[in-house]
Structure 1
Amino acid sequence: MANHVKDMTIRDTDWSTVPAVALANVLRAVEGCVPVRAVCSDVGLDVTRATEPDARVPYHQLADLYEAAARWTGDPWFGLHVGANVDARRFDLLGYLALTTATLEQAFEVLARYLPLWTTSAGFQIERSRTTIEVAWAYADPTAPLRRHDCEMSMMAAVNVGGQLHAGRWRPREVHFRHGPPADTSEHARLLRAPVRFGMPRNLIVCDAASGATPIASADPVLHELLRDLAERRLAGRAVQPSILDDIVAAIVKLLPTGDVQLPRVARTLGLGARTLQRRLIASGATFRSLLATVRRDRAMHALVHSDLPIGEIATRLGYGSLSEFHRAFRSWVGVGPAAYRRAHRARR
């Protein structure tokens, strides 16, 4: 379970995003078991976003969705089970880059270098010694609450992809998790097919160096080079031209506690004129009002469930002039007041 946090510190990394298609892995796993819309609304997500090809969602919402899905399904190994069924091809360009590499070590290198095309909220780091290759999974914000099921899904998916590249014959030497052990760890041992250690300094997949050099049957050097060129261009473009919506969201988050979150103030924060910002919003298919409401709604839901802050303090940090104003807004989003929402969702934890 995610740890309760005492503070709702605003961090830009909270608002790093992932493609909305990432929601599909979770929704496929819960479909037919529990109400999909209810699970999504639990964390303030619109289920229709999963089918929008170019949409992106805040990473913390995806991580919260894994925790909510585990609660709703009653599956104590939900993240592991999703990761065990991941197909590398579902990761678009990133997946095909891994599938066409020459060796497992190169596949992990590809994941480490090009994961920012998928998200910048977390990433893989590769370390080598004479006998091992260590693949670490680290979150960009080390102070963020531990979300066990998101972490276990990511680590399991990496191990699963490694197995796919070697037709199921490869297995890691050890797997480490930062979070503590759940009540039953037998499923971890079964699916990861390696000794699993909890409460470790890092999330880590330890591989034998020799296995990292084993050729991959699906290797295609010509196609891989074409895909790598495309990935490099996308990576360069992402670095030079970040999404204006991401910039606006980051500015809104910083300004919320001031209570002055009007479009002209956000425009000044971004070094733009109000009319210029309005034109860019229109070009992006968004409105300032809906973007502000989404930011407030998502942060309110997250804080009510994952922090012990008084509701009045949450309202203040979200820039509301009065508690009644926050109550009206929250009720319009989810149909109940913030206190009722907190009680209902804490009861499920």
Structure 2
Amino acid sequence: MSYFVRSGGLLGFSEWVRDNGENPNMLMAEVGLSPAALYDSDLYIPYLALARLMTVSAQRCQREDFGIRLGMRQGLEAVGALGSAMCLQANLGDALRLMQRNLEFHARGVLIAVNQSERWLELSMDFAFATEEDCDQLAGLSLALLCRCLQQLQGVPSSPAALELRNGTAEPGVYRELFGCEPVVDARRNCLIYPIELLAEPVLVAADLRARLSQQWQSSRQRPERDLQQQLEKAITALLPTGECNLAMVARIVDLHPRVLQQRLAAQGSSFSALLESRRLRLAKEHLAHSDIDLTTLALNLGYAELAVFSRAFKRWQGVSPRAWRRQQHADRA
């Protein structure tokens, strides 16, 4: 089984490592990751390698708090186009649901459970490969990133009511400083707990953060049309599994009127539907080759109403069914 994740989780990694006197490229090489992942947040990297990188980096930098401090340096910018889409949601409940649907597709191997009671919202996190690799630093990174994203979506950031950790890697005072609550260490799970009212809070993102997020969709003067296509590809990739990948939403993310967007694509000899199909094919091949995702789930995550429609489209692209193509990929690697 292969587990993979977007390289956006490495946002700020180079700076944080250098702040601690180490070389990020050497640490990447030690765990078998290409330094290219530091410069392209939309690459897929092995999840186990990311877990090893966090563990090795904490050891080399002599920072037990390496993962959680990196996560707190990140936030919505680390999740790319998804961050911009979350900012467009009406409330934090909608933003959380959008993020959860995305993670299940673009972060194969993370297990997030959302439990609600009359008073509490519990966001627990685990990893499917936790028995294969030390995930303590990775868990710290992931919990901190989740906490930071929720804080950025709130007009007045609030702290979780409680933090539970299966294996705390830092001193309790570090968790109090970063999460704003008393940690429970040696718990049975990794979990953030909030008052249930959090779900109904409106999304109110600070103006400076909105400006930073929108900068990633600004085309350069040197190659504006090529930049636009790359921006659209990133937005489509992020939004496909959320059920909100349509022309209107993508246009909002890149700050263009849908009609203007279509006109600019037509001038390049392309269209929104052509880009959509291209990204669907790339993602389909990525998941068929490197994960055991069932075909119906894959079809739905790619925005198809049913498996039969996806199968017909894939056979049109590749000449064979997705099931046959997956078998061939596995046979070639055997």
Q: TM-score range by the shorter chain?
A: 0.5 to 0.7
The partner residue of 1:193 within 149, 173, 180 is 180
Consecutive unaligned residues in structure 1, runs of 5 or more: 1-11, 220-225, 252-269, 278-287, 293-318, 320-349
Tell me if structure 2 keeps the 8 A contact 1:26–1:69: no
Distance 1:273 1:175 in 2: 41
Counterparts of 1:37-48 in structure 2, within 5 Å, are 37-48=25-36
CA-to-aligned-CA distance 1:98-134 (integer Å, 9 cap, x gap): 2222222332222222213431110422111111111
Q: Is the 8 A contact 1:19 1:54 kept in 2?
A: yes
Which position in structure 2 is the counterpart of 1:212?
Answer: 199
Shift of 1:171: 1.2
Alignment of 1:1-349 (within 5 A): 12=1, 15-32=2-19, 33-52=21-40, 54-141=42-129, 143-179=131-167, 181-182=168-169, 184-218=171-205, 231-232=242-243, 243-244=284-285, 247-248=288-289, 271=324
Checking the alignment, whether the CA contact within 8 Å between 1:63 and 1:150 is kept in structure 2 is: yes
5+ residue gaps, structure 2, are: 207-235, 246-275, 293-322
Q: CA deviation at 1:19?
A: 2.2
CA distance in 1, matches of 2:141, 2:326: 43
- Secondary structure of 1:144's partner? coil
* CA shift for structure 1 position 65: 0.8
Give the TM-score, by structure 1 length: 0.60
Between the two proteins, the alignment pairs up a number of residues equal to 243
Q: Please state whether the residue corresponding to 1:31 is helix, strand or coil.
A: helix
CA 1:182–1:50: 2 relative to 1, 3 Å = closer
Cα separation, 1, equivalents of 2:326 and 2:163: 51
AA of the residue aligned to 2:115: E
Q: Deviations over 1:18-55 (max 9, x none)?
A: 22343333223213521122111221112123324653
SS in 2 for 1:72: helix
TM-score normalised per structure 2: 0.62
Q: Distance in 2 between matches of 1:183 and 1:50?
A: 26
One-letter amino acid of the counterpart of residue 68, structure 2: L
8 Å contact 1:29–1:82 — kept in the other structure?
Answer: yes
**Does the Cα contact within 8 Å between 2:153 and 2:205 map onto a contact in 1?**
yes
Q: How far is 1:95 from its partner?
A: 1.5
CA distance in 2, matches of 1:92, 1:156: 17
In our comparison, the structure showing a higher alpha carbon Rg is 1
Q: CA deviation at 1:233?
A: 6.8
Mapped contact 2:3–2:47 kept (Cα < 8 A) = yes
Partner of 2:309: none
Q: CA deviation at 1:230?
A: 7.7
Is the partner of 1:101 in helix, strand or coil?
coil
Q: What does residue 310 of structure 1 align with?
A: none
Cα distance change of structure 1 residues 191 and 273 upon mapping to structure 2, 3 Å threshold: closer
2: CA distance, partners of 1:51 / 1:173? 36
**Residues 167, 146 of structure 1: CA spacing in aligned structure 2 closer, same or farther, 3 A cutoff?**
farther
> Which whole-Å CA distance do the structure 2 matches of 1:82 and 1:55 have between them?
19
Contact 2:52 2:134 in 1 (8 A): no
CA gap 1:240/1:71 in 2 versus in 1, 3 angstroms: same
| Separation in 1, partners of 2:326, 2:284 | 17
Q: Is the 8 A contact 2:161 2:181 kept in 1?
A: yes
Relative to 1, partners in 2 of residues 1:53 and 1:110: Cα closer, same or farther, differing over 3 Å? closer
Q: Given residue 41 of structure 1, which amino acid in structure 2 is its aligned partner?
A: A
Q: In 1, are the aligned partners of 2:37 and 2:43 still within 8 Å (CA)? A: yes
Q: Which amino acid aligns with 1:46?
A: S
SS state of the match for residue 15, structure 2? helix
SS in 1 for 2:12: helix
Measure the CA separation in 1 of the matches of 2:113 and 2:286.
28
C-alpha displacement at 1:76, in angstroms? Answer: 1.3
Counterpart of 1:155 in 2: which secondary structure?
A: helix
Greater RCO (CA < 8 Å, at least 6 residues apart): 1
* 2:256 alignment partner in structure 1: none
